[in-house]
């Protein structure tokens, strides 16, 4: 596991601020994922296919709304991947007091 070292004149205060900021960002990302999942679910119900199958096997021609609907669904899926990556990175952080 890699370490990131921060230097400060106020270690207790800064540690508290960073822990709270990480919690806040985690909550924000989890909330974002709930919204994204609802949007993805709408497409999945409409077309009766998972987003993973859609992104790997489908094209705009497979959708009623064609290009615009394809762009929206693909955009939500890509956004969900990025949010999940950020959330995993945040959750991998271990706070160790010295």
* The predicted structure's pLDDT at residue 37: 97
CB 46 within 8 A of CB 54: no
Tens of pLDDT, residues 14-69? 999 999 999 999 999 999 999 999 999 999 999 999 999 998 988 877 777 778 88
CB atoms within 10 A of CB 87: 17
Is 70 exceeded by the pLDDT of residue 98? no
Q: What's the pLDDT tens digit per position in 86-96?
A: 999 999 998 77
Q: Is 5 exposed, middle or buried (0-12, 13-18, 19+ CB in 10 A)?
A: exposed
CA 11 centroid distance within chain: 30
Q: Where do the structural domains in the chain lie, given as residue ranges? A: 11-91
Q: What's the pLDDT at 3?
A: 87
Joined together, the tokens standing for residue 92 give 């991998």
């Amino acid at each position: 596991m890699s370490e990131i070292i921060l230097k400060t004149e106020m270690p207790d205060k800064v540690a508290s601020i960073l822990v709270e900021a990480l919690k806040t960002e985690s909550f924000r990302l989890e909330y974002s994922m709930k919204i994204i999942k609802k949007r993805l679910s709408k497409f999945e119900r409409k077309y009766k296919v998972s987003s993973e199958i859609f992104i790997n096997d489908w094209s705009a021609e497979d959708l009623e709304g064609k290009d615009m609907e394809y762009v929206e669904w693909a955009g939500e899926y890509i956004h969900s991947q990025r949010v999940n990556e950020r959330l995993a990175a945040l959750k991998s952080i271990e706070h160790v007091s010295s």
